[in-house]
Structure 1
Amino acid sequence: MFIQGDNIYLRALEPEDLSFIYEIENDMKLWEVSNTQTPYSRFLIRQYLENAHQDIYEAKQLRLVICDSVTDKVLGLIDLFDYDPKNNRAGVGIVVQYAEDRNKGIGTAALAMIVDYGVNYLHLNQLYANVAVDNKASIALFEQAGFELVGIKKAWTRVGNTYKDEGLYQLIY
């Protein structure tokens, strides 16, 4: 799979992405948003990549790599998850891994591309995102893309010894 934008493109996972996925999945700063509790081994990630060929109808998820159109540098990941073909909806998550690549429109472009893919190819009725209420950058990203806050899940995510509220954002086409 290859979805081309102006400055970035989205592509399917490749075996060569093992080190990048390993880095992201084991970045403890991201565990809060990914609900991860333990590190992933290279072995488990290799197994995951071997099964990444499953289509969204079978796996109920789609993970795409965000790449720079000029340099082919891997910038991040964007996921559709909890795909529900009966109700035509899916969750969406995104990470631009490196600080030097953030605030350059990469997330905005990738989100617009996955929204377009969801509407025109998967015929989704809606996308949703779960965002911690203190994650101002993600809130701005999703609101700019037309997602609306439809509710707050109180004390939803435990971080250390505290609980954080999480916003539920929806984009209904």
Structure 2
Amino acid sequence: MSKEFIEQCFLWNIFIFNILQMKLMYYGECVCLRALELEDLDDILKHWNNLELRQYLSSQTPMSRQAERQWLERATTLDPWRDGGMTLAIEDKKTKEFLGTVSLFTISSQHKAAEFGIAIHNPENLSKGYGTDATRVMLWIAFHILGLNSVFLRTLDSNKRAQKAYEKAGFKNAGVTRQGAFVKGTFHDAIIMDILKEEFLKVYPPGTEVGKP
């Protein structure tokens, strides 16, 4: 077991302790990221079955309260090292309104890579900068705390609003999976975007405020 591996485990455990036990929040310009709580269930269900939101998610079928509660129970106990993923709640920095969730999936300790996902639940909160800000904070966590080297995402070719937000956060177009998504009876190309740690650190080097608790 390498020294680097042990150090990475230590950093991840400190992060889990801080955000789950100490209830620390990570702040951007207009949002803060915090641990999900079971009390978030009602806020999640308000808009979770909205068709405008679900068409861009991996599952487009309606979710029951029971199914969503089971998902939330798992999400509140995820360990990025043990389970390979983590999901945090997005709040408005001033009003504390629940805005949505942001996640890292398939976290690989070997490749120091992960997949990114985000959902702003209420359509009225789109195009207000929340998504871009939450993305930057999560990338700060990914690179500064979890020690990852690259983060990638998939989005529909038709989701121009999301692509614009990801570009603002620093993601670059990395390719296309042709007809990689089936939405509303039609195949769509899936756009692959990614960002490297070195690219993110040029804009947000150690000591910057983005993501600091």
Q: Is the TM value for this pair above 0.5?
A: yes
1:162 aligns with 2:194: no
Higher fraction of helix:
2
Identify if the C-alpha distance between structure 1 residues 58 and 74 changes in structure 2 by more than 3 Å, giving closer, same or farther. Answer: same
Question: Distance in 2 between the 1:154 and 1:42 partners?
Answer: 34
TM-score by length of 1: 0.91
Identify if the C-alpha distance between structure 1 residues 44 and 136 changes in structure 2 by more than 3 Å, giving closer, same or farther. Answer: same
1:136 aligns with 2:144: no
Letter in 2 for 1:41: S
Q: CA deviation at 1:49?
A: 2.4
Letter in 2 for 1:21: I
Identify if the C-alpha distance between structure 1 residues 163 and 101 changes in structure 2 by more than 3 Å, giving closer, same or farther. Answer: same
1:63-82 alignment, distance < 5 Å? 63-82=87-106
Structure 1 range deviating more: 132-141 or 156-165 = 156-165
| Consecutive unaligned residues in structure 2, runs of 5 or more | 1-18, 20-24, 198-213
Q: Which of 119, 126, 129 does residue 102 from structure 1 map onto?
A: 126
1:40 aligns with 2:55: no
Residues 10-53 of structure 1: CA distance to partner in whole angstroms, max 9, x if unpaired? 01110111123334542333333222143222222222222322
**Structure 1 stretches of 4+ moved >3 Å:** none
Q: Which of 141, 151, 155 does residue 127 from structure 1 map onto?
A: 151
Q: Whose RCO is larger (CA < 8 A, sep 6+)?
A: 2
Question: Distance in 2 between the 1:113 and 1:20 partners?
Answer: 22
Q: RMSD between aligned alpha carbons?
A: 1.7
Structure 1 range deviating more: 52-61 or 77-86 = 52-61
Partner SS, residue 34 of structure 1: coil
Letter in 1 for 2:104: L
Between the two proteins, what is the percent identity of the paired residues?
A: 30
1:117 aligns with 2:117: no
Higher fraction of strand:
1
Letter in 2 for 1:133: D
Question: Distance in 2 between the 1:151 and 1:49 partners?
Answer: 32
| Consecutive unaligned residues in structure 1, runs of 5 or more | none
Residue of structure 2 equivalent to 1:5: 28
Q: Which of 83, 107, 126 does residue 83 from structure 1 map onto?
A: 107
Q: CA deviation at 1:112?
A: 0.8
TM-score by length of 2: 0.75
Q: How many residues align?
A: 173
